[in-house]
Structure formats: structure tokens, C-alpha cells
Amino acid sequence: MPENDALATSNGLQILKLVRQYDLSARDVLEVGTGWIPTIPKLFKAHGAQSIVLTDVEPLCDAQTAALAASLAQKALPDLNAITGQDLAILESNLAREGIESYRCPPQLEGLPDQSIDLIYSRTVLEHIPQPALVALLQEWRRLLRPGGCCIHIIDNSDHFEHRDKRLSRLNFLTLTNVAWRVASFNGQNFQNRLRHSDYVTLFRDAGFELLHVEGEPDPKTLEDLKTLRIIPAFAHYTPEDLATLTSIVIARNAPVAAAAN
């Protein structure tokens, strides 16, 4: 859908703006959950990445969607120029390069060498990963990242069913019991872990990452909705502001492993 393509491009530019703002290395890059149209990897390619690993649990990309992504990235080059200051001719030349992208479905990250990646990023993916799998994945990312390498993740904490049914609150899924939510999520592509903003902050810290940037503001309309929503007891200990934070952005640096005490 055109609006989704535009949002993906906008999110990709947002990620690259953060790369520049925090002076992060983005030579060797890994994308978590590429989806159908790999626009953001194309933007990283234009930016000058030397290798890009695209990953997903299902092979959704093909030659046609890759061509569409290249076209969308081409149109976004003036915006990328404004963010990075790189000459348009260089961006275009970088985008035209062949042979720097690889596509792994399933990801099989264990096949990638230790400390081979500078930057790992995702866009609206982490909310679809069960918490135990996410805990394990964070450790795998630490193995893959070079010392000082970083993660950038944009996380959608809202009920994704609301995206298609605007009659629902953006926190409607927090009113469902665990059993009811499992039934609603029987299709794996509908699964959401229902983690809140503070949960992701804790998970990254507990995994040994250093948080460089954490962004998330409560949505005013959702704060109002919480006054009448019947949130299940499992979420009663969260503050309204935490529950109503619908988008999280996390930049986490792979902190050095502490030396063992003598």
C-alpha cells in the first residue's frame, strides 16, 4: 500500500538520521524482519554500507519487490542528501552497486561470524517476537556486534488490529485475557507480545547493552481511553504513561563484556 511504503521510507530516513546524529558505524549492517519491500536496506546501500544482511522468518521479498524498493529509495535520495550531506551523485552511485546484499530466510544467525556487524536495526518488528525468543536474540546480537556496535529499533506498542479496525482503542489488546489473546493471535503474523515501553528498556539493559537513546511519549488520546478501558490485571502495575506510549525508539550499544574477577 502506498501509505505503508511512504511510512517505511520515512522510518528508514529517521533511522539514518539517528545514525548520523550519534556518529554510528554502518559499514556492515543487519536488518531484522525485512518484510515485503526492502526499502530501508536500499537507503543504507545508498548511504554507503558495504554489506547488508536482510533477514526474515519467511521469504517475502522477490525481484519485483526489490525493484520497487530501489525505486522508492531513489525518490528519497534528496531527503537522504539533506540528512547526510552526501552528494546526490555519490548516493546514486552507491544505490546502483550490486552484490552487497544477502537475504537469509530463516535468519540462521548462528551462521554469521562473531563481531561481524556494526549496526542491527528493525522497524516495527520486535513487538512480534515472543519475550523468551527476544531475550535469546538480544544475546545473539551482542555476539554479532563489534565492540561499540549498536542496535536501532523502532517498536510499535499499539494493538495492530486497530490498524485495520478504527473502532478499536489502540490498547484494546490489553483488555483481553491471555487465553483470549492467544486465540486472537492464532495466526503467527498477528502475534504481538504486548510488551510495554519500559519492558524493552529493561530487556536491553539486562542483556548488557548500554542505552544511548530512548524515545517514547504517551499518546494523549490513548491516555484518555485508559480512563474507561478495562485493562486486565496483568498490566495493572504499569503507569498510564507507560501503557499509552505507542512508539518506542531504542538505540543500544554493545557494551564491552566485563573482565572476570581474579
Residue-range domain boundaries for the chain: 2-160+194-221+245-254
Grid coordinates standing for 43?
537507503
Element (H, E) at 223: helix 220-225
Q: 166: which DSSP letter?
A: T
Q: Are strands 51-55 and 28-32 parallel, antiparallel or unpaired?
A: parallel
DSSP state of 245: B
* CA distances from residue 95 to 38, 123, 195 in whole angstroms, order as listed: 13, 21, 36
Q: Which fold has domain 2-160+194-221+245-254?
A: Rossmann fold (3.40.50)
Which pLDDT does position 261 carry in this prediction? 42
Query: Per the confidence metrics, is the pTM higher than 0.85?
Result: yes
What was the pLDDT predicted at 257? 65
- Report the run of H or E that residue 92 belongs to, with start and end: helix 88-95
d(CA 102, CA 238): 40
Q: Which residues of the chain have pLDDT under 50?
A: 259-262
Distance between CA 71 and CA 50 in Å, rounded?
A: 20
Pair 172, 161: CB distance under 8 Å: yes
Nine cell digits for residue 117: 556487524
As a whole number of angstroms, the distance between CA 202 and CA 130 comes to 15
